[in-house]
Chains A and B, each alone.
Chain A
Amino acid sequence: MNTPQRALAALVAAGLCVGVTAACGRGEQGGPNESGSANSDVRIAIVTRDFTNPYWAALRDGAVAEGKAAGVKVTVQAGENETDSNGENAKISTMSGQDYNCFGVVPVNSTNVITPLAPVARKGVPILNLDTQIDANASQQAGVSYASFIGSDNLAAGRQAAQALMNKIPGGTGKVAILQGIAGEQNGINRQKGFTEASAGKLDVVATQPADYDQAKGQTVTDAILKAHPDIVGIFAANDTMGLGAAQSVRNAGLTGKVTIISVDGITAALQAVKAGTLTGTISQYPYAEGQMAVQACARLVRKQPVPPRVVAPIALIDSSNADKAIAAFPQPFTPYDNPLAAK
């Protein structure tokens, strides 16, 4: 066989391999992103930002687990990273051409998912807005409306973080620093707003720096803040990955225990850090529960049952006193919560 034929043969063989392996998976239980049978009356598509952030991976796991439990079809897809607006978009438009009859979407920013959701809305398929609020005006103009918003109250999370910080700092006052998320990201803005409101007049915020929800960046930024303000007694990080970075920085500076650090999210690594004492506390949100609720809400919508327009997912402060319980119960909340969507 001469070379061009050989190259061609290899190509065809490769193509066939892909075809065969993929064909084997057809109609069976899918990978970690899928659950339930294809012929269920409820076929739910959930799209989030990425799976590299444990937060969204937990949302996926919750949705898939609930789909399995309820026997409905659930597929979860995501973009490549926290800011992959176009990639997330492509996933939605690909899925909008399929026969899903309910969508749950976590947007990258307040507008990126509206255009691809327009054809979904036109078909009359119900859409849930998950976790991060989508711009209402722009949605309305594009003819997109949301059956419900399911997410945590990030203002409350910020307030609770401020309360926790004031409780943990000796005397309840002092100089503190804030690590912000990606500029313009609404959840981060709300967390900071809640924090600022609740701590006004009590805590003195001497530094506010963005660290883009990134652990390494959180550490670098905290290094710089500690150099500029060696007398700070507390740090509020708008998410856990930054909080972990701050904890590392504080530890390197030999200040563990002297600087109180509170972050938000409740990812496993943060719970472990709270247990180990490097992180003072985390306001745990429950993306796993959010994923479950999204599937429950979709199931109700498809079966024409009512769903409240706003469902608030639970939050809780995890500190050294309850870290063990939280780790044992993870990814579920360790205390019962009020779920208006639970099957009665």
Chain B
Amino acid sequence: VTAAARYAAPLGLAAVFIAFFIATPNFLTPGNISDLLVSAAILLVLAMGQQLVVTVAGIDLSVGSNLPWAAAVLGFAYSRGWGLAASILLALLAGLVVGLVNGLLIARLNMTDFIVTLGSLSVVSGITLLLTSGNTVPVNSDGLRGLALDGIGPIRWFWVVAFLVAALVGFLLFRTRTGTYLLATGGNLDAARESGIHVNRIRLLAYACSGLACGLAAVLFVARTGGADPSLQTSLLLSSIASVVLGGSSLFGGRASVLGSVAGAVLLTSLINGFTLLGISQYYQPIAVGAVVLGAAFISRFQR
């Protein structure tokens, strides 16, 4: 029963690949798959952060504004000539700080995760607008452009970043004691607390990691769009949650699948990519994405 459900995302991904392969000769080409994976990288990094939060039975809605916020900090620092390395470091730090604040409010003050991150979604978006006066800050850097376009031979830098993040999260969750604590905290908070796990610290860690992932995703975002755009990234936020759910992780915590979330993120990106190749109207794309998420929810009923 569980087998098909557990591998819903990889199976779905395979089905979508086959469908697009039949539909258009332009889909399964090295060039297009290379581009597809680059397009998926930003979402994938966000989904990995979201994965950790979902593992502890939480949700991080602040992703939608934390990413533009970290991007804006990068743009702010870079446009003042502080150098690329320092700017990137500041962007990572900016994302981490938001994650830490979320974590403190949720874990220490015991506030509801949904409301806290909904609140910070709005607050951080406002701070970003203040920092940038609502303008896009151009970041004209050959280094960042190289990050977006180049790589080691055919291996693009974006894949390397996304792969490393996924490997790190997978290692953390399934190969370390912290990972066991994360899963235990999400599975049953009270039981975990009674067995001596510092559940507050563990939950704080999850939100901090999600914040850091936003910072990293922001660097990729700026590299790809050549500037820091202060507008909310709602579609990335929703897709990051959808990827994790598609991957078979439980929103009630305690069950995580890094491979599933990766497949989920690539699946969502493939849908958009394939539809673009086929020239299917823009208006159908959200329907397809939503249908896939609903399908995943249906299949996860068979999971125990």
A residues sitting closer than 8 Å to B (CB atoms) are 2-5, 7-8, 11-12, 14-16, 18-20, 22-23, 25-26, 30-34, 50-51, 75, 77-78, 80, 83-87, 89-91, 93-98, 108-116, 118-119, 135, 137-138, 141-142, 182-184, 210
Contacts and interface: CB of A to CB of B under 8 A. Distances in A.
| The 6 residue pairs across chains A and B that have the minimum distance between CB atoms | A183-B134, A15-B15, A184-B135, A22-B23, A83-B231, A111-B226
A97 B31 contact: yes
Nearest to A137: B140
A87 B3 CA distance: 34
B78 interface: no
B279 A97 contact: no
A22 B23 CA distance: 5
Interface string B126-145: 00010011111011101001
A269 B290 CA distance: 30
A14 B3 CA distance: 18
A238 to B, nearest CB: 14
A84 B18 CA distance: 29
Interface in B128-173: 129, 132-136, 138-140, 142, 145, 148-149
Contact of A135 (B134, B138, B221, B232): B138
Given A16-B19, A94-B32, A111-B138, A87 B235 contact: yes
Given A89-B225, A98-B277, A78 B140 contact: no
Contacts of B145: 114-115, 118, 142
B105 interface: no
Residue of B20, B281, B295 most packed against chain A (CB within 10 A): B281
Contacts of B232: 83
A149 to B, nearest CB: 18
Nearest to B36: A94
B229 A108 contact: yes
A23 B140 CA distance: 42
A2 B221 CA distance: 45
B26 interface: yes
A142 B96 CA distance: 31
Which interface residue of B14, B26, B148, B280 has the most chain A CB atoms within 10 A?
B280
A110 B278 contact: no
Contacts of A33: 279-282
Given A8-B11, A89-B225, A110-B138, A31 B31 contact: no
B5 interface: yes
A4 B278 contact: no
Contact of B12 (A11, A98, A135): A11
B236 interface: yes
B16 interface: yes
Nearest to A76: B279
B95 interface: no
A187 to B, nearest CB: 14
B227 interface: yes
A23 B23 contact: yes
A86 B138 contact: no
A97 B224 contact: no
A123 B135 CA distance: 32
Contact of A111 (B32, B227, B269, B282): B227
Contacts of A183: 129, 133-135
Given A7-B302, A25-B278, 6 more contacts: A16-B19, A22-B22, A22-B23, A86-B42, A87-B272, A94-B35
A184 B230 CA distance: 10
B19 A15 contact: yes
A93 B226 contact: no
Given A51-B282, A91-B276, A18 B19 contact: yes
A210 B4 CA distance: 51
B1 interface: yes
B135 to A, nearest CB: 3
12 contacts: A5-B4, A8-B11, A11-B299, A15-B18, A22-B19, A32-B281, A85-B231, A86-B224, A87-B272, A115-B223, A142-B226, A184-B132
Contacts of B139: 111
Nearest to A18: B19
B233 A77 contact: no
B125 to A, nearest CB: 12
B38 interface: yes
Contacts of B35: 93-94, 96-97
Contacts of A119: 149
B44 to A, nearest CB: 13
Nearest to B148: A115
A86 B11 contact: no
Interface string B217-245: 00001011111010111011000000000
Nearest to A51: B282
Contacts of A83: 229, 231-232
A285 B132 CA distance: 30
Interface in B22-48: 22-24, 26, 29, 31-32, 34-36, 38-39, 42
Contacts of A182: 134, 231
Interface in B68-120: none
Contact of A115 (B32, B149, B276): B149
